[in-house]
Amino acid sequence: TGGLSLKPRDGMCGMKVDMGGAAGLLGGFFAAVDMRVQKKVTLILCLAENAIGPDAFRHDDILTMYSGKTVEINNTDAEGRLVLGDGVAHATKNIPKLDLVVDMATLTGAQSVATGKKHAAILCNQAELETRVGQAGMHSGDLCYPILYAPELLLDEFKSEVADMKNSVKDRGNAQTSCAGHFIEAHLHPDYQGGWIHVDMAGPAVHGERST
């Protein structure tokens, strides 16, 4: 629904597909098990029910994330990045010998503007990972394309006077999809030295009135 940042009536219809990232990773995890992949793979599902009610979070709330960073809420319809931030923080703190983190979500409507409705947007902290993910997408048919990686330029979009950061950007015209990914990246454990891949597949998650 968008929570207290309430979506318009038509904007709520079909939002059941907004769990596409979690569903895709769950399917990928099952496939890895069926293929008996000889690597340790851990699945963390980051789920949120974002509705209006007495327990709904509010604008101007300040949340303390699992990473220890504080977040000022300026858009309750940007809830996915909050649970994803906690997910990557949990993974990088508690999973031993972790060398790769992949998070995937239908995170931003701006993704379709950035890379279209057939290609997911990928944001990686290593150039080599961009190549690997692109090749994997060509092989599997789940197409993807890299977007701007520039946390040193974009994290200022979340600047807050009362917390470490806000949860939504100030300027929606400034690489919004990259910004949303960098928000999640900001909650990786500071000692984590491995790879990170963020996949925003809001466009490719939907075909007509059905999810893919």
Segments in the chain below pLDDT 50: none
7 is an active site residue: yes
Question: Can you give the pLDDT at residue 209?
Answer: 84
Catalytic residue among 7, 93, 117, 132: 7
Tokens representing 66 are 């699992």
Question: Can you give the pLDDT at residue 136?
Answer: 96
81 is an active site residue: yes
Tokens representing 128 are 């080599």
CA distance 107 to 115: 13
Question: Can you give the pLDDT at residue 82?
Answer: 98
In terms of DSSP bridges, do strands 120-124 and 195-200 run parallel, antiparallel, or are they unpaired?
Answer: antiparallel
Residue bearing tokens 């300040």: 62
CA distance 58 to 161: 17
Question: Can you give the pLDDT at residue 149?
Answer: 98
Provide the whole-model pTM.
Answer: 0.96
Q: Which of 114, 93, 59, 106 is nearest to 200 (CA)?
A: 106
pLDDT in tens, 116-175: 999 999 999 999 999 999 999 999 999 999 999 999 999 999 999 999 999 999 999 999
- Long-range own/partner contacts, residues 45-51 (CB < 8 A, 24 or more apart): 46/22, 46/80, 46/83, 46/84, 46/86, 46/87, 46/103, 46/105, 47/19, 47/22, 47/83, 48/79, 48/80, 48/82, 48/83, 50/1, 50/2, 50/3, 50/76, 50/77, 50/79, 51/1, 51/3
Q: Which of 207, 162, 20, 4 is nearest to 103 (CA)?
A: 20
